[in-house]
Amino acid sequence: MKNKFAAQLFTLRNELEQDFPGVLRELKEMGWAGVQISGLRGYKAEEIAAVLKETGLGTAGLHIGLDRFRGELDKVVEEARLFGTRDLILPYIPVRSEEGFRAIRSEMNEIARKLAPQGYRISYHNHSWEFDTVIEGKSSLEFLLEPSADNALLAEIDVFWVKKGGRDPVSFIASYANRMPIIHLKDMTNDERQTFAEIGTGVIDFVPILTWGERNGIEWYCVEQDECPGKPMDSLQISLNNLNFLADRMM
């Protein structure tokens, strides 16, 4: 399982601006098996790909904005090829209406089917606000990720945002067996703020999540902490230490 632990680089967005290659080398030394990329911060894809090869870090997918899916798809696919990943993830959509969600699902399915013959997969990363809109008797998130034969849009569930939305993470992810190659892990503080916390320091129980993941097709467990109380590298070290402890306990 430890070979599936990846750091989402959005956590280190400020550090990447200064030294993207150096951040990758530090994460490898820390013990991460992979990283998930969400923007190149002005660096060339070829340069980052070379450092990934040098360090042996895997790529747990790319977060790709809707504008790039629409206007730079060929370039996005070339980046995925360079980084050695099959997974392109839409991290955010600027819609809140039923009409908007239906249009996004249709558009992303069209892109997914276009890229499938080349081996690429499209997933969607949730937040909590997708639970606010109801479509056909279910939340807009469940509509977008409906596990049906005619829906090619896969899940990248973020367990923090599921809990923030009032759902139980373990129960919620059960619908996405073998339809979720990457899952996002972040913890929630045990106080009235209910904000971001390092894995193992908050209220989310990760053992049943990891157990489910090992049985249902998870290829990467990706840790993202949108905001950190101190240095983001320190937060990632705490999260990795605690994940490794859980992995050892589960063996």
| pLDDT, the chain, mean | 98
CA distance 152 to 136: 19
Q: Which of 3.40.50.1980, 3.20.20.150, 2.40.50.140, 2.40.70.10 is the CATH number of 2-250?
A: 3.20.20.150
Is the confidence at residue 251, as pLDDT, over 90? no
**What digits encode the pLDDT tens for the residues 217-239?**
999 999 999 999 999 999 999 99
**What digits encode the pLDDT tens for the residues 192-223?**
999 999 999 999 999 999 999 999 999 999 99
* Residue whose C-alpha is closest to residue 96's, from 137, 122, 127, 67: 127
Query: Cα–Cα distances in Å, from 157 out to 139, 173, 198, 213?
Result: 14, 7, 17, 12
Instruction: Give me the mean pLDDT over the 32-49 stretch.
Output: 97
Residue 116's CB: how many other CB atoms inside 10 A?
Answer: 12
Label residue 201 exposed, middle or buried (CB < 10 Å: 0-12, 13-18, 19+).
middle
Domain boundaries, the chain: 2-250
Residue 40, C-beta contacts closer than 8 angstroms, at least 6 positions apart? 20, 48
Instruction: Give me the mean pLDDT over the 153-158 stretch.
Output: 98
> Which pLDDT score, from 0 to 100, does residue 196 have?
98
